[in-house]
Chains A and B, each alone.
Chain A
Amino acid sequence: MKDLKHIHFFEKLLNENYNELVKEATEKGKKAFGYSCFYVPELLLNVGDAYGVRLRAPNTGSMQLGTYYLSNFSCGMSRALVERGLENGFHYVNGIVGAETCAQMNRALEHFKMLQLVENEKFFLEFLDVPLAVGEHVYKYVAKQYKSKILMPMQEKYGIDISNEAILDAVKRRNKLNAMMREISEMRKSEKVIITGTEMHILNLVVKSCPLDLITPYIEETLEELKTRQPDNENKYRARIVVVGSEMDDYRFTELMEECGALVVADRYCFGTLPGYEHIEIVDDDPILSIARYYIDISLCPRFMDEEKKNYRRNLIKELVNDYNAEGVLFEALKFCDFWGYEKTLATEITVNEFGIPAVGVETSYTVQASGQLKTRVQAFIENLEIKRIAKGKGEQ
């Protein structure tokens, strides 16, 4: 298959936070705001002259300082962010919005304030308090915080236009991008490989790491290119899998899985496609309430405690396997992530024993460099799928 026109440019963009597009936007006077979690409405960081970037720490090597301030038991991502902050790697960010949804990331971001890691007098750090259930009272509580903790500081400190018109414009722009990303993602349902999991992972990451307006034309062009892309005649992959799990902001994890022969056809993890690109409907008089509704409803984070959400997120895995014609599920949990540590284990059992779908649970580190063992696990899982396929074939005969 011919390389996508912009794929190498995208890879280059992912190599650093202050990449070409972020730099361009900053030089044009746009204001960057960082966020750390799916619970933060990135959409609202794109109002007026603002743009949102998800905090990452590409090419992380040593995490000694991050470990010193957090602990050996903190997840790699939280330590890497503190480390990158200490290296002045987020100098261009004007504010950070976190979510008190995970203790480790919460502590990591608190260090940005305590250690004053961003030299900017106007810099602000806010935390959203997102309840673990759904309901009208939840939406209202969250919407209030969107106003007081995101929009108001943006306006008061940087003069960002936070009017309803500006918000609706951001929704429109975001919906346009979401529609394109959904269309691309749908292509993965095809038997023939039109887009690989690695390419999809790269697209997801650039969308989250670059200014919305600057990345959208590239996604548009890529979509058009994909519509006419000629798949390889020969399928080099040994199995199709769904990946479900926690933070994974290094596309080389997917690359590693695909090098082993497992084509990642659906990505249901933080930084993945599912969920995140649904159409945003403004159904309330107050657009912010609709946005809160959207983010709470689509989230599949394991911290949601109500039965409906729990059952939905587990049943969804079965649906993904069917819809994307996959043979197995790989559950990944970033090491030391409490939420996914528990969820991965229970979901694996449910998937295997209740749904009858082959599944494996693995722990990943923040950087792919330390993931030699992962390769072995993926290879073993593929062999397992192949054996099952053979056994199934014999049974049918």
Chain B
Amino acid sequence: MEFINHFLYGDKRNQSKFYEAGTGHYKRREWRGLQDTLIDYFFWLRNWGNLILLVLKAPVPAVKAVFRYRWMWSLLISFGALDYSKEGLRKTPLKISNMNYNMVVRNLCSELLTLLTVKSEKAIFYDLNQVPTILKGIEGFKPICPVALAVYVPSIVDQKSPYTYIDVTETYGIPADVCPLPQAEAGSAIEDDIIVKGICGVSTNMPCDGSIMASSYVDRRLNMPMYPLTSPMRYNNPDAMEFMADDYKELIKFLEKHTGKKYNYENLKEAFEMVNKQNELLLKKWETNKTDTPVYVGMGAWLYRVWGFNVTGLSNHDFYKNDLKTLKLLEKAVKNKEKVHPKQRFRAIAWSTPCNYYGHLQAWLLNCWGVVTVFSMLGDSGYLSTMSLDTNEELLLAAANTTSRSTMRKQTNGGQENVLEELWEKCDEYNPDIVFLHDHLACKGMAGLITMFQEAADERDIKLCTVPQDLIDSRTISRRDMRDKINKFMFNVMKAEPIDPALVDFDDTQGH
């Protein structure tokens, strides 16, 4: 009987038994029951299919790239990281996570293929955290973001991948206290580990001071005509969007000059119609988490938005179709009062920039402490009201509104009210028991508000746990240290007991 139950309904959710000591690597995959394992396996195959297809389409560049760029190795183990973030999930949350990840993987492979095969004179470089939608207006040219593939994605799927770039930058002389993400960007340029292609490029001041300065290093390596698109910092200023629309006009002149192409506003309109549609569905998806049975959870929720926003520019039709499907599933799950975990007890909001090397922290919170993360700050990048798109001027304003509220930047820039006051509004909407505040030590903007968060949370009687982390450098604060901080909070402040005691402390420091 027990065997049949196990076969049909899967392992009991005690994840620790799958881990190897020291690395946290899996000894074996989780058996989720027949149906869920088949679903999981199906998507696993699809992901691999995408990767294999990529290699088949461009075998020589792909193999060459594996030996030329160290980050290619990290991309090859990316599916492992996805598995971590799906731990313990069943039914709808599992399916949605898989659907979202599959979209990301498909798009990642497509981007990688473009990057490997596109001719330099037919590519336009854009900076990490820039929104590429505006480049849709230049036909016949491919927007490429080599830094996203060299630094950002690897930092999520392999905690060790940024080490080399960070070390190179510090050896070069840049102080160790700067944010490691732009630091690694600069490092990838110093180390000559980014694919250098493009007839011209667009650099950006987003999201922070560090990334502005890292652009100096990347631009120097790229050595191509570069337009510095400067998104207003105080984007709520009455004149800010008008200014940025003007800046876009200058950018368009620049692109026309360097590509020899006339800018096509129709393409931009089409793209922003899709942005409007995706935003609308996004709000509906998060709306389901305001109920008593939230199921839109985990890295699959926020990473999908980050990728869709920053890489596809929210203009990919496949992402939209996926949104429609996931929304249906979510609504059905809410109707059926489906739970993410049978022992779930707490609702939480994850605020501030999450830790890339511990993207699957929410899965651990769920399986160890029964915490369901009902909202993640990175999950709602962009300007979410419906944007008017009737004239060229309105299209540029839509681009301005969208870009200036880019990932991380939307909350962390433009004044404390965007991140501090916004949190309390989210608390009113999502009714969390806990707020996990990701305290990114090297983020000077957010670090300067941690005390005010704490004091304001005390005044509002909100339980707030600051979780120190260093975004992409796990040597500063390891995953284990992060868990330790949360464990103490859960024991002492929440007076809770873990639902899986074996997960409270384990060593995964040496793992990917």
Contacts and interface: CB of A to CB of B under 8 A. Distances in A.
Contacts of A345: 172-174
B452 A69 contact: yes
Given A127-B234, A363-B175, A305 B215 contact: yes
Contacts of B239: 141, 144-145
Interface string B438-450: 0001101101111
A141 B243 contact: yes
Contacts of B213: 302-303, 338-339, 341-343
Nearest to B204: A305
Interface residues of A, number: 53
Contacts of B238: 148
B186 interface: yes
Contact of B448 (A70, A131, A302, A303): A70
Nearest to B203: A305
Given A103-B208, A342-B186, A132 B175 contact: no
Contacts of A111: 452
A342 B178 contact: yes
A71 B450 contact: yes
For A129, A343, A349, which residue has the most chain B Cβ atoms within 10 angstroms?
A129
A61 B249 CA distance: 50
Nearest to A304: B228
Interface string B223-243: 000101010111001111011
Contacts of A341: 174-175, 177-178, 213
SS class of chain A's interface: helix, strand, loop or mixed?
helix
B448 A135 contact: no
A46 interface: no
Interface in B234-275: 234, 237-240, 242-243, 246-247, 249-250
Contact of B234 (A129, A137, A310): A129
Interface residues of B, number: 51
A234 interface: no
B217 interface: yes
Contact of A74 (B173, B209, B444): B444
A107 B232 CA distance: 17
Given A73-B177, A104-B444, A338 B209 contact: yes
A75 B219 CA distance: 27
Contact of B228 (A69, A306, A335): A306
A364 to B, nearest CB: 12
B291 interface: no
Contacts of B179: 338
A342 B217 contact: yes
Given A103-B444, A106-B445, A127-B234, A338 B216 contact: no
B70 to A, nearest CB: 23
Interface string A88-130: 0000000000001111101110110010000000000001010
A60 B217 CA distance: 35
A254 interface: no
B79 to A, nearest CB: 35
Nearest to B440: A73
B205 A107 contact: no
Given A131-B243, A335-B175, A342-B214, A110 B415 contact: yes
Given A78-B448, A107-B445, 4 more contacts: A70-B448, A73-B441, A338-B213, A345-B173
Interface of A: 68-71, 73-75, 78, 100-104, 106-108, 110-111, 114, 127, 129, 131-133, 135, 137-138, 140-141, 144-145, 148, 302-303, 305-307, 310, 333, 335-336, 338-339, 341-346, 348-349, 361, 363
